[in-house]
Amino acid sequence: MVESSSDRYLPTGFGAWDCGLPPYQSFRAEDFGPAIRAAIDDMVLELNSMEDDLANPDMDLTWSNVMDRIEFIDDPLGRLWNVLFFLCGVVDTPILRTTMADLQAEVLTVQSRRNQSAEICRAMEALRASAEWPHYSVEQQVLFL
């Protein structure tokens, strides 16, 4: 698995933002374009790595190496895109609107690719068919609906 360097593309003010509300007062509109482009590039690298790993028939499929890894892949771009989307609705500056318009197709393309990955779909089907399935929590199982 490729190690993520997610902090490298966080806009000024994101810093160690792990959970909770983002520090909106620290954001600069001009940081979002480069940050989201870097997050897209990182997501593509991570997705390629995961699909290569899942293509190995000897890979042991566990919740951790499938579902946790999907979250790790999705989270950085998802956070940045959601914050940009929110700010466009609240602040609506020309820079934010242009950034969103310029990147929307790329974001949707990479997210669709991840959502439609045949390798990930097969891995999720294998998890659902595994002996571990009854031991997953309701919250875990609902992710497969």
Question: For position 19, what pLDDT does the model report?
Answer: 62
Opening angle at CA 27, ends 11 and 7, nearest 5: 20
Domain boundaries, the chain: 26-144
**Strands (E) located in 61-109:** none
The one-digit pLDDT tens for each residue of the chain (145 residues) are 334 444 555 555 555 556 666 777 778 888 889 989 999 999 999 999 999 999 999 999 999 999 999 999 998 899 899 999 999 999 889 999 999 999 999 999 999 999 999 999 999 999 999 999 999 999 999 998 8
Question: For position 145, what pLDDT does the model report?
Answer: 81
Question: For position 27, what pLDDT does the model report?
Answer: 80
Question: For position 60, what pLDDT does the model report?
Answer: 93
- CATH for 26-144, among 1.10.443, 1.20.1050, 1.20.120, 1.10.1060? 1.20.1050
Q: Residue 39 is which amino acid?
A: A
- Pick from 114, 49, 118: which is nearest to 81 by CA? 114
